Structure 1
Amino acid sequence: MKKRLGLVIGLSAAILIPSLQETKAEESPKHHHKIDIVAHRGASGYAPENTIAAFDLAVKMKADYIEIDVQRTKDGKLILIHDTTVDRTTDGTGKVGDLTYKEIRRLDAGSWMSEKYKGEKVPTFEEVLKRYKGKIGILIELKSPELYPGIEGEVAKLLKAYHLDKPRNEKVIVQSFNFDSMKEADQLLPRIPIGVLINKTADTTDAAIEQFSAYAEYYNPSYGLVTAELVTKAHEEGMKVQSWTARSRETVQFLLEMKVDGIITDYPDYVK
């Protein structure tokens, strides 16, 4: 840090050197490792997952990103829902890919959690891009893309339509457990950071991490796989690490100690 020395001209070196050292100790802030707070399916510990209510709450809680799950309806609409069926998070039944957008839009996606959220709808991907562009980062997971051939191109098309294919500060990320899908996404969206979701020990070897780094900027393991060595290796290969899913303060603290780059959590307020 540069300092003005004019005021101390004439002082002896014996006085000057300790003075500068004390000033540096007082003025130099401690380095703090920046952790991105990623609201998993929105602030889903408090509001129904993958709904506008959960995403709005994540914004209110000052999360850095919302994490969303993208799938496709029978008639080609991209919607946000985690499971490949609507059974768990709505009052309907059936596979997402077997139902039309209108059929899914009629479903109640909030009452399962609380009467407070009765009538909450399954949102579309486009709806979320419109609503949150520029307000919060968006971590886009392609959920079971093998069920929806061509979904990578459809996601890319919408991101380009909203000028989000060239995001600033990595505020849009695309990730999946399907590595072939992410290789394709990398080709379609060369300016978008790509993430690989990791839940198998076979994908934590040095060789595997090196292979992922050829096309991915994020290496995102389940917290049960995280070690300091794993994080270091990913960093050495030029990738950031966002770990999932932290549902307790103890897990959050562990991940902070492991020096990950982001914590994917149902409770954004747990990450300080």
Structure 2
Amino acid sequence: MHARAIAATTTALLGAVAVLMPTSALAGGIGGEPPLVIAHRGASAYAPENTLAAVDEAAERDIEWVENDVQRTKDGELVVLHDDNLRRTTDVEEVFPDRAPWKVKDFTTAEIARLDAGSWFGPEYAGTRVPTLEQYLRRVERHHQKLLLEIKNPVLYPGIEQQTLKVLGNEGWLDRKHVGTRLIVQSFSADSIRTVHALKPSVRTGFLGTPSVAELPAYSEFTDLINPSHGSISTGWVAAVHAFTGAHGSPLEVFAWTVDKASDARRVAGYGVDGIISNKPDAVREAVQDG
């Protein structure tokens, strides 16, 4: 059947189901369990985002999953940072005042290691550094956590997918245990995720966005999750996503981002999402577990 016809049929059937479903019930995702809670950039409401301190804060709150962002330096190393420049979360303008616009790709790993990535958040975090991907993986491993890794701005960094997989492999993150239950690689770029799937089919992948139901058959060929902004979804859309089988033979899952309010957490849990990405993961977990 043509993809558009499949999508139309799925939407019609699931729309009828959605009308009968009590949206106030926090039924969770496909298995009926409360949604997973993922610490966005680590527990970034409590420590500087994407730092080892944020990983530690997530672990202190017994948050099993952490999310991070990967960029590449001038000398080809991978570092954990959300923005493609260093201004917002480091003191780069003070340390290197003549290097505007302070893009990550224009600085070496050693130069970035000199920067303070914590004082902007609070004086107690002064001296916190931007971690390399290796350092970040080792800290996540120390806490026996799981990782939702985002390949950020892949168009700026040709070949970053293969490089990311190499680092993951070198750090022991591509064995059966990790790829089976502890690792997901995601991106806003469908091409990037398609590349990851082609290079390492065993790795679970997620697409960041809210594609139409008609587009889902194409995405399901190379991804396992569709991860939308929480304000862009509905019960019917989540149910439609679940109706498709992903690249590893299981129903497509949905992780919604970025949810910090208890009311929003309960709302999207009622939609049936499988995961919620939050800066305040402990508060969100309490909201969805208590209903």
Please say whether Structure 1 and Structure 2 have the same fold, judged by a TM-score greater than 0.5: yes
Q: Is 1:163 aligned with 2:169? A: no
Runs of 4+ in 1 over 6 A off after TM superposition: none
Is the contact made by 1:33 and 1:259 (CA closer than 8 Å) also made in structure 2? no
Question: What is the CA–CA distance in structure 2 between the aligned matches of 1:169 and 1:76, rounded to whole Å?
Answer: 29
CA distance in 2, matches of 1:60, 1:267: 13
CA–CA distance in structure 2, aligned partners of residues 113 and 254 of structure 1: 30
Unaligned runs of 5+ in 2: 1-30, 94-101, 245-250, 287-291
Q: Which amino acid aligns with 1:182?
A: I
User: What's the offset of the Cα at 1:170?
Assistant: 2.5
* Structure 1 unaligned blocks of 5 or more: 1-30
Match of 1:226 among 228, 233, 243: 233
SS of the residue 2:256 aligns to? strand
Greater relative CO, 1 or 2 (CA 8 Å, sep 6+): 2
1:185-264 equivalences under 5 Å are: 185-198=196-209, 203=211, 205-237=212-244, 238-264=251-277
In the aligned structure 2, how far is the partner of 1:225 from the partner of 1:188? Answer: 31
Instruction: Give the count of matched residue pairs.
Output: 238
- Aligned partners of 1:84 and 1:159: how far apart in 2? 21
Which of residues 130, 133, 145 in structure 2 aligns to 1:136? Answer: 145
1:133 CA drift (Å): 2.1
Q: Which one of 264, 267, 271 corresponds to residue 280 of structure 2?
A: 267
More displaced 10-residue stretch of structure 1: 169-178 or 41-50: 169-178
> How high is the sequence identity, in percent, across the aligned residues?
39
The answer on whether the counterparts of 2:148 and 2:185 sit within 8 Å (CA) in structure 1 is: yes
**Aligned residue in 1 for 2:9:** none
Answer with 1 or 2: which has the greater Rg: 1
User: What is the alpha-carbon root mean square deviation over aligned residues?
Assistant: 1.4
Deviation of 1:39 after TM superposition, in Å, equals 0.2
Question: What one-letter code is carried by the residue in structure 2 that aligns with 1:57?
Answer: E
CA distance in 2, matches of 1:32, 1:141: 26
1:227 is matched by which residue type in structure 2?
Answer: S
Deviation at 1:49, TM superposition (A): 0.2
Q: TM-score, normalised by structure 1?
A: 0.84
CA contact (8 A) 1:170 1:192 kept: no
Secondary structure at 1:245 match in 2: coil
Alignment of 1:1-272 (within 5 A): 33-93=33-93, 94-133=102-141, 135-165=144-174, 166=176, 167=178, 169-198=180-209, 203=211, 205-237=212-244, 238-270=251-283, 271-272=285-286
CA distance in 1, matches of 2:153, 2:47: 24
Letter paired with 1:229: G
Q: Is the 8 A contact 1:86 1:95 kept in 2?
A: yes
Give the 3-state SS of the residue equivalent to 2:92 in structure 1. coil
Aligned CA distance change for structure 1 residues 209 and 32 (closer, same or farther; 3 Å): closer
